[in-house]
Amino acid sequence: MQVKMFSILLIFVLQFVVTPVLGHIQIIQELNLALRTELNVLIDVEDFYSSSILYGLDTPRIQLSSKSREAMNLRLRGNFTSQALIIVQLMEFGLDPKVVDFLPLLLDRLHELHIVFLSKEDPESLQMELYTYCYKEGFINVILIYNDCLYSYLPYPSIQPIRLANVSEYLTRGRTIRNFKGFPVRILQTTLAPRDFEYFDERNRLVRAGYMFTAMKEFTDRYSATIVSVPIPDLPEMEKYAAVLDMVINKEVDLIGYFKDMEWDVSYTEPLSILKSYFIVPHARPLSSYLYYSRPFKWTLWLVVALTVFYGALMLYLGSRRDGKEIGECLLYSLSHILNTCNQAIRTTGWRDQLIHMILTLGGFMLTNLYLATLSSILTSGLSEPQYKTVQDLADAPYPSLHDGLYRRQLMGNEFLPKALRQKSMTLNITLLTAYRDGLNKSYIYLSYEDRLELILMQQYLLKTPRFDLIREPVSYALEAYPVSRSLPFLKLATEFMRRLQEHGINIKIKADAFQVMLERKMYTLMRDDEPPAKAFDLQFYFFAYGLWTVGLGLSLIVFLVEVIKSRLSHKKKQ
């Protein structure tokens, strides 16, 4: 009788305790194999029923308790492998409130990992509550196990509990949820051209465009979602940035067509590259034309010319002392050689005299032609003051730098920039700032990221002389990534899609299309020179030369009159 009762008890234990545990172990092992899991994380698996699962798995595993204070500070990302399977034991009434708070912290930035919930009771009544919590926290890959029954849910277009026949059907579900079935994706509506902007087409319809918006639109089209535009609150500039950050944190918006600023503590897609910001500074001012005559040669070459003239004069003087030539006359003859207007007024009897004349004549011929050719080239292209090439040079520039409130605050905190440059920074209304910067107003220096500067500087493509120059020294950095709401359920999909656009060069085409639209709609224009092109022999250019010539004639006339008067006075004294 006792043996019979023991057999019945053993059968009961095998049927209601051991068999479900073995079934759970088999399902988890199938998931480990299919997902190539490197770590099993067991949460609140503490009783005998659940501990059997702990010791029945072959995959490396760790056991955590939501009741532990130390566990609340633990993060899976950065401490353990991200290729993990999370296993959570449910209470009889559903999910433990402590687990509700613990799971989002543990899976920070890893909310799309697969999670297995183990239930001891029939989960029919608690499924909707569980799935609603999971979707809210971004847990999109969820499987619920009760005995031999498998459950999960479809998140789009609304939460739908489903029952699964086996693990393979759960894996197939991963492809099914890539179809959003018209699910609304909330995209922040910004006016930051060329990333996201609006314009009216030929039929006077309002069209939203921009290369970042186009990428997000392609994403929604690819996965059959719909776009819901979320307007930015109408607030002052600094408060507007804070309001947008609150919208992201509070999950009032899903995607933002803006780059991830280093100071913003928000979630974002995986970065595609690092974006840099640069200064643009007005092109150097043109020099007055009267300075052109001294610019063909540098001061060192002018010094060589002067020394050559004096050297030639000295040699001619030493070689013609028998003729009683004065040093001033020899200096005049030497200068005439350099100017390539030499004559034979000085006797050249010896080979030394002939060599001096030949050297001066050849040197004068080369220098005269080089000077005239360089002067003609300068007159055609024009000359400017020294260009600003580094950020350090901008400290001496006479222009203030113009920014909005946020970026001026960041600029003032950047101690790597010259103090003089930071002190010359100023803020302005965002509308005027955009108008001045996009119109290339030459009264200020501007700072912006390279994608916007590329469009702004494209406007001067047809100009003979650019209005602005780019300082090729990065000032700040941002990540080429899309800010998203915290624990976005489709973050992995968005990251994969944006990476494909980048890798296949589609982003380049999208950006070029956005630029073309803005030029066609006159939002930006290709600027042209207002003044007629300079002529190689413009009469105005020679006014200074005429002035010098007139001064020379006046001085020579005065010297001539002085010599005549001096000669007459000396002649009278002799009489």
Whether residues 78 and 206 share a domain: the answer is no
Best-predicted range by mean pLDDT among 62-66, 98-102, 176-180? 176-180
Whether residues 279 and 428 share a domain: the answer is yes
259 domain residue, yes or no: yes
34 domain residue, yes or no: yes
pLDDT at position 133 is: 93
Question: Which one of 149, 176, 203 terminates a domain?
Answer: 176
CA distance 258 to 560: 78
Whether residues 377 and 318 share a domain: the answer is yes
**pTM given for the model:** 0.78
Q: Beta-carbon neighbour count of residue 341 at 10 Å? A: 10
Range of the domain at 339: 289-381
CA distance 156 to 220: 13
Instruction: Identify the CA nearest to 210 among candidates 560, 510, 573, 555.
Output: 510
Whether residues 123 and 19 share a domain: the answer is yes
531-560 pLDDT per residue, tens: 655 555 556 667 777 787 888 788 878 877
Amino acid code (one letter) for 212: M
Whether residues 233 and 370 share a domain: the answer is no
573 domain residue, yes or no: no
The CATH number for 507's domain is 3.40.190.10
Whether residues 18 and 136 share a domain: the answer is yes
Question: Which one of 381, 396, 418 terminates a domain?
Answer: 381
Question: Which one of 156, 176, 196 terminates a domain?
Answer: 176
155 domain residue, yes or no: yes
Work out the percent of the chain whose per-residue pLDDT is above 90: 38
pLDDT at 11 over 60: no
246 domain residue, yes or no: yes
Q: Which residue has the tokens 């999909």?
A: 493
The CATH number for 351's domain is 1.10.287
Whether residues 92 and 132 share a domain: the answer is yes
Length of the chain: 575
β-strand pairing of 142-146 with 114-118: parallel
Whether residues 419 and 331 share a domain: the answer is no
Please tell me which residue, 251 or 58, carries the higher pLDDT value.
Answer: 251
3-state secondary structure 91-147: ECCECCHHHHHHHHHHCCCCCCCEEEEECCCCHHHCHHHHHHHHHHCCCCCEEEEEC
Whether residues 22 and 124 share a domain: the answer is yes
Structure tokens at 534: 């300079």
Whether residues 207 and 316 share a domain: the answer is no
CA distance 140 to 159: 11
Residue 69 gets which letter from DSSP?
H
Whether residues 213 and 250 share a domain: the answer is yes
5 domain residue, yes or no: no
CA distance 493 to 513: 25
Distances in whole angstroms, Cα of residue 545 to Cα of each of 514, 542, 548: 52, 5, 5
Whether residues 34 and 125 share a domain: the answer is yes
Place 336 in a pLDDT band, splitting at 50, 70 and 90: confident
The domain tally of the chain equals 4
478 phi and psi, to 5 degrees? Answer: -145, 160
